[in-house]
Amino acid sequence: MKIDIHSHVLPRIILEALADNPSKSPFPVARADDGYTITGYGRIEPGMYDLDLRCSALDDAGIARQYFAPPPPILSHYSHAIPAEFATVLNTANAAVTQTTNSRLIALATPALADPAETAPLLERAVGEFGFPGVALPTSAGARDFDDPAFEPMWSVIERLGLTVFMHATSRADHPAAGNFNLGLLVSWPTEVTYAASRLIFSGVMERHPDLKIILSHGGGTLPALIQRLDLGYHAPDYEHDPECSEHIAAPPSRYLRNFHFDTVVGGGPALRALIDSVGYANIVFGTDYPYEVGDADGSRASAIIDDLPVDIREAIYRNNAARLFPQN
């Protein structure tokens, strides 16, 4: 059986509340004959809120346990970040999902991001009340990056409590080039993962908090492929040297790659093989991005590669690496 570390839930009680109060939703939710829709997006997959359907899908996919976070735009978009009041309500609803499913679906804590001063205390309270084993973070808080010193207390709390971070891409900026062909989702989001992780490295967040454990969505974007290029920036001796590339860290960026883990939601095939080769199987965790179409909702794309690996590597990616990151469960 597998452990899935990348999936999404938006509880029905939250959807009902957003449908009743569309002004409180970053993307207006409306009721439809077959469930719910988001204006400008379309139908919300029933597996996002129908827990019986969800658990049946897990059975079909051979998934024993699944960690979940809210859909990324709920947490952050270039126009907003989730406020404390909404984060508190969402944490309560998500904890109820974990309880209802007997911990087969395990919620990650949703921090308040609109005001960095509230992020650390609310996160600590939520973990204390509900026992969340990790934190769901987008790649930015609105237009603010997580290497901003205002978020330093959040990183301290995460490290002190031993929480694992699942960092999912979201839209930090409205890129004109991404306005067609769904490039915002297909290209910009993996790129946002690369930006966020690179900033955490160069800014010294990973240096100051060596016990951080961060899972990056979508295979870490292009970070595994570019990590040696980041090292070039650190070592550049002359006219292409930027002092910021070395003043906050004591080692080249590639040294900090060991603090990151990477999910398997990369489309399968050669991309997943390259990821395993570049970061090593011990840093890879199985994920599906359920219930989204542009993902691997039943895990079959990743499994086509993983099932052909030696048994110890297969078991590590399917469950042992995740069990190490979430020992509480």
| Percent over 70 (pLDDT), the chain | 98
DSSP string, 183-241: HIIIIIHHHHHHHHHHHHHHTTHHHH-TT-EEEESGGGTTHHHHHHHHHHHHH--STT-
Mean pLDDT of the chain: 93
Residues 260-292 as b or e (16 or more Cβ within 10 Å = b): bbbbbbbbbeebbeebbebbebebbbbbbbbbb
The predicted-structure confidence for 261-292, as pLDDT tens digits, reads as follows: 999 999 989 999 999 999 999 999 999 999 99
Mean pLDDT, rounded, for 238-267? 94
Q: 2-8+45-325 is classed in which CATH architecture?
A: Alpha-Beta Barrel (3.20)
Taking CA atoms, 278 is separated from 2, 254, 262, in Å, by: 23, 11, 11
Residue 247 contacts by C-beta under 8 Å, 6 or more apart in sequence?
Answer: none
**Per-residue pLDDT, 186:** 82
The predicted-structure confidence for 186-218, as pLDDT tens digits, reads as follows: 887 899 999 999 999 999 999 999 999 999 999
Q: Is the pLDDT of residue 23 over 80?
A: no
What is the value of pTM for the model shown?
0.95
